[in-house]
Amino acid sequence: MSRENTCNSDSMIILDKIFRAGLLRVDPYQMIKDQLHRDGSCLSIHSDDVQLSIDLDDYTEIVILGAGKATAPMARAMEELLGERLTKGLVVVKYGHTDSLKKVEIIEAGHPVPDAEGVRGAGEILQLAADAGKTTLVINLISGGGSALLPYPGSFEKNGQTFQLSLSDKQKTTQALLACGAEINEINCVRKHLSGIKGGRLLDAIAPARSINLILSDVVGDDLSSIASGMTAADPTTFTDALSVLQHYNIEKDVPELVVQYLKAGANKEIPESLKIGSSALALSANILLGTNRTALNGAATEAEKHGYSVIRLTSRLTGEAKELARTLSAIGADAKEHKMLGNLPLCIISGGEPIVTIQGTGKGGRNQEMALAFLREMQKCPDLYEDIHFLAASTDGNDGPTDAAGAFANLELLQRCRDEQLDITEYLHNNDSYNLFDKIGGLCKTGPTNTNVCDLHFMLIL
């Protein structure tokens, strides 16, 4: 029987507030409002790295295209900003991540496993891109999730015969990559080379029109070629690299045979490569990074300071196996508590990034819930070390893995509930069943869809 999923202790309430403050800082609607301004026909963009002015009178039409979990509120902000200047548009979002739009159409599609609606959306976006002429300004809105949301299976010809990848081929490949623990850049490398829209191919389709690409990063390190599989960026990876990912994780036998044939044909230069540096399409485009994991960390840090905590920002580049990262973070917390190695208490330690989970069991969960459960197991080994230490790991998009929870908490109160319910933490962890354990003890963090996505956030309060 599940407990009510609410924050029970004062520290859990504060952790929730700190997390939501981080989310607020990367609200996609507000970021557009803060960094883009229009004065008559002049559209100006002021981000951390780019200062750009555009005369809208130079264009006969303005089209918005986009894909990702955050693009519906981004499109709403652009509609308000452009008003009558906007001609039309289309964004593809994850199911439930919608908004109220007037001129921009929304298609909801599958994530993280692509579906037929995503194929439809990708096809319609490519058609709008192909229709754009020299006097069209295309504004692309791109956020995390865009890669899975725009599946457009490629095709190739050999010996007079056409071989067409199917959606099922891409779904099975994505599932195999997720299950083997491949990192997001490796998954995107394969996706780019099975696609007719990723790896800069959207930019090729838009040319000769000019494009402005407003991007919200969900990639550790903010590599533009990896965010949503780099639809508007040059791709440094190759078909050979994509084939090597399958070989490295020994999953060639787990993906459809046609996928392996396709990648081998590309490696043999029988299929055109993705967009490379030097392409003329790049000269017609500007990629502008609006928000990142660091942006969210800064918002969370400000909130923690309001509650009287000294703040340590560890990193925004935390990657690796969730269970191992939990072990490291718990050790940092124990030393900070016992030896004050990071300064005086109370202390809030903040990190961000994107852990991975190598799936071994058949349970339900996500990488943040797995991390919290592994943190709870470390607490179980020596509870005295973790007195007054409270932990939260959560996804900024509000959906950790295929669940309705953003993440989960860990503290001694929740550990005691496990004992009371006679729950075997190690068994749940081995079965990758973190969701069901936290559901039983009231340790889930639920926000609902946030319509943003800048990787994950991890918080530790030490009193």
Starting from the edge strand earliest in sequence, which strands make up the sheet with 104-109, in order?
104-109, 88-94, 61-67, 136-142, 210-216, 285-291
Amino acid, single-letter form, for residue 261: Q
Q: Return the sign of the alpha-carbon dihedral for residues 64, 184, 166, 403.
A: negative
Residue 311 has pLDDT above 60, yes or no: yes
Confidence of residue 343 (pLDDT cuts 50, 70, 90): confident
Q: What is the pLDDT at residue 85?
A: 97
Question: The pTM is what?
Answer: 0.82
Residue 257 has pLDDT above 90, yes or no: yes
Which of 375, 381, 379, 370 lies closest to 435, judged by CA? Answer: 370
* CB neighbours of residue 214 within 10 Å: 28
Q: Which helix (H) or strand (E) holds 52?
A: strand 51-55
Of 131-145, 163-177, 237-251, least confident by mean pLDDT is: 163-177
For the chain, what percent of residues have pLDDT higher than 90?
Answer: 83
* CB neighbours of residue 331 within 10 Å: 12
Of 3-7, 109-113, 446-450, least confident by mean pLDDT is: 3-7
Mean pLDDT within 179-199: 89
Amino acid, single-letter form, for residue 129: A
Residue with tokens 């908490």: 409
Residue 342 has pLDDT above 90, yes or no: no
Residue 65, judged by CB atoms within 10 A of its CB (0-12, 13-18, 19+), counts as buried
Q: Helix or strand or coil: residue 183?
A: coil
Average confidence score pLDDT of the chain = 94
Domain boundaries, the chain: 10-21+299-462, 27-293
Q: What is the pLDDT at residue 5?
A: 47
Domain 10-21+299-462: CATH superfamily, name plus number: MOFRL domain (3.40.1480.10)
CATH architecture label of 27-293: 3-Layer(aba) Sandwich (3.40)
* pLDDT tens profile 69-80: 999 999 999 999
* pLDDT tens profile 103-133: 999 999 998 888 999 999 999 999 999 999 9
Q: What is the pLDDT at residue 1?
A: 44
Q: Which pair of structure tokens corresponds to residue 283?
A: 């000269």
H-type helices in 153-214, by residue range? 167-180, 184-192, 201-206
Q: Residue 375 in contact with residue 330, Cβ under 8 Å?
A: yes
